[in-house]
Amino acid sequence: MLDADFFRRWLTTAAAAVDREADRLTELDSPIGDADHGSNLRRGFAAVTAAVEKEAPDTPGAVLMLAGRQLISTVGGASGPLYGTLLRRTGKALGDAAQVAETEFAQALRAGVDAVATLGGSAPGDKTMLDALLPGVDALSTSFAAACEAARQGALATVPLQARKGRASYLGERSVGHQDPGATSSALLFEALADTAAA
Ligand code: ADP
Ligand code: MG
Ligand code: MG
């Protein structure tokens, strides 16, 4: 079973991973975007960590909904509302249980990923964060480690794609040959989840 502390540790681990990889995320956002993805997420996850420590929500759902609100209010770019919606919707689906089973979390995260697709109007293969989120959540029924690997492969598989959503889509064919920054950060979130589960 996963409790509020598990989700708090996931977000803290994710914040550390985002901080460590921020320069790389911003570099990926340079040829096909506006070179701010790393700094956007660093600001957002720093706010998430601070809020979760200060308010200490005591259920998994409340932790994730608070984190989602922080991302929406602190990240100006497209990724803020998208990741914020991911976490808020996932948290909402978990309700007010004090502990949730891994299968319940996998179902809730699927609802969160579906909400990202609806908000972004995006589909698999559009070269967005969804290309890592969807394979990740699909593999979550197997294990956290499998989800991490599937999301990583999904991010790598964005390289040959032409972007159909977000800033990168303005480049048309010139977006081909670059890894999507949002798919890369999504893979980091799954990596943080696997690290948290293994710790
Ligand atoms: P911005 O593009 O506003 O500067 P970021 O650089 O923080 O925002 O985030 C860019 C990432 O957001 C992209 O790499 C992509 O993965 C994701 N993204 C952008 N638009 C969409 C969308 N409509 N649907 C899903 N993901 C999107
Ligand atoms: Mg950007
Ligand atoms: Mg921007």
Closest atom of ligand 1 relative to the 128 alpha carbon: 16
ipTM of model: 0.99
| pLDDT over 90 percentage in the chain | 99
Average pLDDT over residues 73-83: 96
Give the ligand with the smallest distance to the CA of 127.
Answer: 1
| Gap between the Cα atoms of 146 and 135, Å rounded | 10
* Cα–Cα distance list, 146 to 138, 155, 188 (Å): 9, 14, 13
Two tokens, residue 185: 């950060």
pLDDT at residue number 27: 98
Two tokens, residue 159: 């390289």
pLDDT at residue number 163: 98
Question: Ligand 1, residues 18, 45, 71, 82: which to mutate, most atoms within 8 A of Cβ?
Answer: 82
Q: What is the pLDDT of residues 80-95, one digit of tens each?
A: 999 999 999 999 999 9
* Mean model confidence pLDDT for the chain: 98
Closest atom of ligand 1 relative to the 183 alpha carbon: 16
What pTM value is reported for the model?
Answer: 0.98
Q: CB count, 10 Å around CB of 195?
A: 18
pLDDT bucket at 10, cuts 50 / 70 / 90: very high
Give yes or no for a contact between 176 and 162, defined as CB atoms under 8 angstroms apart: yes
pLDDT bucket at 28, cuts 50 / 70 / 90: very high
**Which of 86, 172, 83 is CA-nearest to residue 127?**
172
pLDDT at residue number 76: 85
Structural domain containing residue 132: 2-198
Containing 3, the helix (H) or strand (E) segment is: strand 2-3
| Gap between the Cα atoms of 89 and 22, Å rounded | 25
Residue 166 Cα to ligand 1 middle (Å): 5
| Gap between the Cα atoms of 20 and 159, Å rounded | 22
pLDDT bucket at 109, cuts 50 / 70 / 90: very high
**What's the domain count of the chain?**
1
What is the SS3 assignment for 65? helix
Q: What is the pLDDT of residues 125-145, one digit of tens each?
A: 999 999 999 999 999 999 999
| Gap between the Cα atoms of 20 and 156, Å rounded | 19
Average pLDDT over residues 161-190: 97
CATH code of residue 145: 1.25.40.340
